[in-house]
Amino acid sequence: MFPALLASVSILSLPPNRFPSFTGPRMPRSRACLSLPTARAQASSRRTRRPQNVDGEFFVDTVCIDCDTCRWMAPDIFTRVANLSAVAKQPQSKAERLNALQALLACPTSSIHTEKPPADILEAQDTFPLPIEEEKLPGVYHCGYHSEKSYGAASYLLVHPDGNVLIDGPRYTERLARKIDLLGGVRFMFLTHKDDIADHEKWSKRLKCDRILHAEDVEASTVDVEIKLDGSGPWNLNESLKLIHTPGHTKGSVCLFYRPLQVLFTGDHLAMTATGLSIYEQYNRDSVLLQIDSVKTLARLDFKWILPGHGRRVEYENTAEKTAALEAFVEQKLAPHSGF
């Protein structure tokens, strides 16, 4: 069903970059490399409340990387002020408080805090993996626990009768692993591209699943991935799951199309932002024009949902609306290049 493992794979050594960090690169530093005074100063910084937060129990600290996670998870509580997240309103109900705690747990840099340890944090932990739309998207979950190694990208769990699929890598936590076990474990860990792999090795060993990554995106940390996709595909995991090669953001970017629910998992290839559809061209690691061309390929697929690694989810009314939106987006992006 899959191509054989490659006999040899070129190891890429592109410099890492933060994505998406609207205030510029800020790479994490290993605690082991810090002197005690520096570690204490950093810990103190993590507890420093941004002045843009409203008064009250919840606050965002100054280590926030503007990944947008808390703002789309709990939009009534968090907002963007001075290029970073902040608490705009303290939770007023049990539902709002639960949303705020879920965002706290998902934050990749642990930048969301409460003045005192929350007594109900276990309740929030037990909600992950979190159903996205139980009626419209049964069996599709948001894993939470975003990883700083993946620049805050979302990871998803797709429950499938032929074997569950973990899409990209969340931060490893045994509590989440046990919850995934209860949902049937994982057969495949599909990595959309090289940026959002996070703790893939820990997950693979713990869940005893095979990892899938395109050969063009294999690096030193993923050379042991069990299944390396070769060529331009497409590849079928089964009758309902198709892998679509969408080069551009990286050479080996691949999207996962789930036909029965008309869902497209896009990684960093395509997403909705507060201002509309985006391919995050400022963070492109290969070719913007090639990425735009890959969007044209996706416009021909029969999907209504976009579930991205970064950015907001999208639900279109129907495939015609989706096609019109993507075609207009491509035309807009190609306009500056029309003279070439």
Q: State residue 274's pLDDT score.
A: 82
Spatial CB neighbours of 205, under 8 Å, sequence gap ≥ 6 = none
pLDDT in tens, 144-199: 999 999 999 999 999 999 999 999 999 999 999 999 999 999 999 999 999 999 99
d(CA 27, CA 243): 31
Q: State residue 11's pLDDT score.
A: 25
The answer to whether residue 19 scores a pLDDT higher than 60 is: no
Average pLDDT of every residue of the chain: 87
What is the mean predicted confidence (pLDDT) over 301-315?
96
Cβ neighbours of 135 (radius 10 Å)? 6
The answer to whether residue 51 scores a pLDDT higher than 50 is: yes
The answer to whether residue 59 scores a pLDDT higher than 60 is: yes
Q: State residue 257's pLDDT score.
A: 98
| Reduced 3-state DSSP string for 77-128 | CEEEECCEEEECCCCCCHHHHHHHHHHHHHCCCCCEEECCCCCCHHHHHCCC
d(CA 230, CA 47): 46
pLDDT in tens, 193-231: 999 999 999 999 999 999 999 999 999 999 999 999 999
Spatial CB neighbours of 66, under 8 Å, sequence gap ≥ 6 = 20, 21, 22, 23, 80, 83, 84, 85
Q: State residue 340's pLDDT score.
A: 45
Spatial CB neighbours of 122, under 8 Å, sequence gap ≥ 6 = none
The answer to whether residue 299 scores a pLDDT higher than 60 is: yes
| Residue 47 binned pLDDT confidence (cut-offs 50, 70, 90) | confident
| Residue 338 binned pLDDT confidence (cut-offs 50, 70, 90) | low
d(CA 148, CA 31): 14
Q: State residue 10's pLDDT score.
A: 27
Q: State residue 339's pLDDT score.
A: 55
Q: State residue 64's pLDDT score.
A: 96
The answer to whether residue 20 scores a pLDDT higher than 50 is: no
The answer to whether residue 308 scores a pLDDT higher than 90 is: yes
Q: State residue 46's pLDDT score.
A: 53
SS3 165: strand
Q: State residue 15's pLDDT score.
A: 31
Q: How far, in Å, are 148, 238, 302 from residue 138 at the CA level?
A: 28, 18, 18
